[in-house]
Structures are given as C-alpha cells and as structure tokens.
Structure 1
Amino acid sequence: MTDLAKHRDRRPIADKIAADIRALVMAGEWEPGSQVPSNSELQEQYGTSNMTVQRALAALKDEELLEGRSGSGVFVRDHATQTISPASYMAPSEPGEPYRWVSEAAERDQRGSNKILRVAEVKPPKRVAKALGLGAQGTAVLRSRIGLLNDEPAELANSYYPIELAKGTRLADRRKIPGGSPTLLAEMGYPPREQADEVAARKATREEHEHLELPGDVAVLEIFRVVYSDNQRPIEVTELIKPGHLYKMGYHLPMH
C-alpha cells in the first residue's frame, strides 16, 4: 500500500466539504459578507448529493462561520478572523492608562473588558510548576479571568504567580488590577522583559466550551506563556485559551 493510500482522507464527504470551506473562510479567500456558491455548484464540484452539501453548510453555520439569509442564500460571516499579536499585551501600561487588553481593543473600535472568575492559592498543574521553578508541593496564586470584546467571550486566561511574589499583593486580590498585571509587576520591581509562547490547537474542554460560549465542536487555540523578568526569573505563567474559529496568532520576529 502506498503512503498516499495509507493516509487517504477517510472522513465523511460532508466533513471534507466543511473543512475545505472552513479553510477558505479562515484564510480570507472567501471574504466576509460574500455569498457562498450555490448548493448545486457545490454538488457538482464535490460529486455528491444536496443532502450532503446541506449537512456541511449546517455544520459551518453552527460554528458561526456561515449564515443563511432567507431568500438570498448562504453567506460568509460579516467579520474576518482576527489576528492576535501576543507581544502587545506584555508591556506595562502607561501611567493612568487601562490594561492593554482594553486599550488595544479600543484601537480596533472594540470594547474590551475582563470578568474575574477566581483568585486563589493553588497547587498548579505540573507544567506550570516546572516553568515557575516550584517543587512538587509548591503553590502559586491563580488569577482566572475571561477577556471580553464587545461583551462577547474572547479568551479564557488562567495566570499563575509564585506565591512568595504574589502573596499580600493585588495579585492575590479578587479585584481588577489597574493597568493589568504587567503594570503591577513592574511597580513591584519585576518588570516583564520577555515571554515564551507555546501554541497548540485542540478540542475544548467542557469548562472552556461553557466559558467561551463556543458554537458546535470548534477547536481552540491554547497558548502556554511564560513571562520572565530580569535574570530570566519567571514571574507569570498563563494558560490562554481562544476560540479557534475567531482568532489567529501573529508574530513579528526580527532577523539577526
């Protein structure tokens, strides 16, 4: 058996059609607001039945990538996939300015806000403990929040801070932090200097699905972020989850 035959796409034809269309929408090849080819055109293109095409389009409507308009047909959603620039949120805010999540949203004509879910001293997940340099029984302060754009869930963030750094500070307080955690850390003498991101795509957990109000079984982007201060000291680890059908990650890396 050839390698090609061994790895042939064995998904149902409706899933294949949905995957092709999803890629075109996410890449911007089918622009926001544009009309999708008719069912008969898609039937001819894929050599399949109208029912199969309808099943594919229904899945994409559930994911809110497409929308049906009575008497007009099916159209691509009106808003394009948004690119996130992770580095833009690391720097402390200017004096008197809001958290960069809010100010960056305003520059895109969006309304940014945060909802605090939980603040507690916890035993962190293994990879978080390792990144923070904690022992097997080490604890950290967890700040869990939902980032909102125009009152819609845009990200779920679980941020962990070393207990000796956070205890007794606003990091351990349930109230929102003026200017965000980068500003407070800088004021405490731990200015963020660099960050390391690991990015993965996967299916959402039940908690993520509910908090992010995800449509259907869409994938999420998982960003595991370690923020360092002077002398490569880890001061924050964040598990950031974003809806995969709404966002892309954007990096601008200088060449040396």
Structure 2
Amino acid sequence: MAEHKDGRPLGERIAAEIRKLIMDGDLEPGAPLPTTEQLCKQHDTTNVTIQRATKILKDEGLLVGRTGVGVFVRDEGAQAIAPAHSLAPSEPGQPYRWLTEATKNQQSSKYQILSVAEVRPPRQVRNALGLDESGTAVLRSRVGYLDGKPAELVHSYYPVELARGTRLEQRRLIPGGSPRLLEDLGYPTRSQDDVLGARPATTEEYVHLEIPRDVPVIEVFRIVYSDGQRPIEVSLLTKPAHRFKMAYSIDCP
C-alpha cells in the first residue's frame, strides 16, 4: 500500500503545526511567537515560507502582529463548549441557558434571528422527526454571538403540530429559549443525541460565522427527545473550529 504523504505546501504544514500548539494551549494566549530565525531553524526553511505560515494564522485571527514589537498569540484561547448546556430548560423567568453560561464565563452574548418559516427539512431531519417525503417542520435559524463575534449558526426544526400557534412560529426570540417553551407546552426535555463532525464551511456558514480562509466548522446534529422518546427538536449547529472545542463529561459506573 502506497504511503500517504502530506502534499500541502510547507507554509501550510508549518501553520498547521503552530495552529495545534495554539489550540492546545502550548503557545499560551498573549505569548510571543518564536522569532522568524528560530522558526526557520526549527523547520529547516526560509524566511519567505515562515512569513507565509504566519500570514495564514494572522488571517485566521490566531496570531496578531504588533508593529516594532513582534508577533503574538491571540489574547483568548480556544473555548471548550459543553453541548449539554442547552439540554435542561432554564428556570421560569430566566434567560436561555446558552446565554447564562456566557455570563458565567464573563462574556457578553446575544442571538440574532435570521428567519422563521415552515419548510420541507433535509432528509436526515425528516428521518429524525419521523416525517414522510413531503412532510414539513417549523425552522428557526439564528446566529449566536459571544463578545460580539459570531460563535454558532443554528438551524432548529420543530414538529408543526407542536409549533403551530406558539412563539416557535414567530420571528422573535423566545424568553428562556425553546426548551423552556416546550416544557411549558407539556413536552419536557428528557434526553438528546448529538453527532459531531468537522467539514469545510458552506457559503452560508462562511458569511454568518465570518470564517477566515479554509478554517473548518464543527458540526453538531442534535435530536432532542421528550417523554416516550418523542423527538421535539432537531438542530444543526455549526461553530468555527479555530475558536471552539466541544467538551464532554461522562460519569462511569
């Protein structure tokens, strides 16, 4: 079997190595990048190649150049997000849990509604909701911001019979979020299934998440269940992979 080799230009390979050090925290937020001379020796290459590598990472926002001083790692590290933060409904009168988690992390946060409409969902959503080929669902699309930067693009689908005549159909934010509303309607959240992946961004994601260059997105396909394993929400969430990681905590018996 032929050896699989990395055919990318050397500048891209060096950028990938530095990117991993930044994402893993080995190059700490605010730390100076090794000098061009040091990087040239480390990677056995030229100034031009190192400049190409650092430009890639500057375009991604991972490195910041300071005139007359040097090149530094961005001030904030990669943020780990626990998917279960949105599982339980917020307490009555309290904001959506995604927003309160941001407050705990000393971050400002907000959601912007992009659209709300009754649509024919993609196949995987229809299958998850138990719809036939012509079945429809209510789609709520929105962008979540942390500290003024786009953090996630969310497309959430709801069974028409649950959404009709409720705030789920309205193009405005829902106090406490959809989990709170669904519980008040008699459909408490009991569990959720998440499937995670990574892929290149679509044009929609590239625009709304302000993706730099070819940075991939983290994709979460989520099914939320109520009593009797009834699916009450299916969401497709995408996050820019140069800013976020997904965090899990698993209790072992």
What TM-score results when the alignment is normalised by the length of structure 1? 0.97
Is residue 165 of structure 1 aligned with residue 162 of structure 2? yes
What residue in structure 2 maps to residue 36 of structure 1?
A: 33
Counterpart of 2:246 (choices 221, 246, 249) is 249
Is residue 62 of structure 1 aligned with residue 59 of structure 2? yes
SS of the residue corresponding to residue 196 of structure 1 reads: strand
Deviations 1:35-94, CA, capped at 9 Å, x for gaps:
111111111111111100100000000000011111111111000100001101111111
Post-superposition offset of 1:151: 2.2
Counterpart of 1:213 (choices 183, 204, 210) is 210
Distance 1:35 1:144 in 2: 39
Counterpart of 1:227 (choices 224, 227, 238) is 224
What residue in structure 1 maps to residue 115 of structure 2?
A: 118
What residue in structure 1 maps to residue 24 of structure 2?
A: 27
Unaligned runs of 5+ residues in structure 1 are none
Aligned-residue RMSD, C-alpha: 0.9
* Runs of 4+ that moved beyond 2 A: none
Distance 1:157 1:224 in 2: 10
Distance 2:227 2:188 in 1: 7
What TM-score results when the alignment is normalised by the length of structure 2? 0.98
Deviations 1:117-148, CA, capped at 9 Å, x for gaps:
00000000000000111111100000000011
SS of the residue corresponding to residue 109 of structure 1 reads: coil
Q: Percent identity?
A: 57
Query: Would you say how many aligned residue pairs link Structure 1 and Structure 2?
Result: 253
Distance 1:109 1:238 in 2: 26
Distance 1:176 1:11 in 2: 44
| Alignment check: 8 A CA contact 1:101 1:113 kept | no
SS of the residue corresponding to residue 98 of structure 1 reads: coil
SS of the residue corresponding to residue 6 of structure 2 reads: coil
What residue in structure 2 maps to residue 178 of structure 1?
A: 175
SS of the residue corresponding to residue 200 of structure 1 reads: strand
What residue in structure 2 maps to residue 140 of structure 1?
A: 137
Distance 1:13 1:215 in 2: 20
What residue in structure 2 maps to residue 86 of structure 1?
A: 83
Distance 2:60 2:149 in 1: 15
Distance 1:134 1:20 in 2: 45
What residue in structure 2 maps to residue 76 of structure 1?
A: 73
What amino acid maps onto 1:33 in structure 2? G
Distance 1:215 1:98 in 2: 31
Distance 2:214 2:119 in 1: 30
Post-superposition offset of 1:240: 0.2
Distance 1:220 1:40 in 2: 33
Post-superposition offset of 1:169: 1.0
Distance 1:9 1:196 in 2: 35
SS of the residue corresponding to residue 187 of structure 2 reads: coil
SS of the residue corresponding to residue 218 of structure 1 reads: coil
Post-superposition offset of 1:97: 0.6
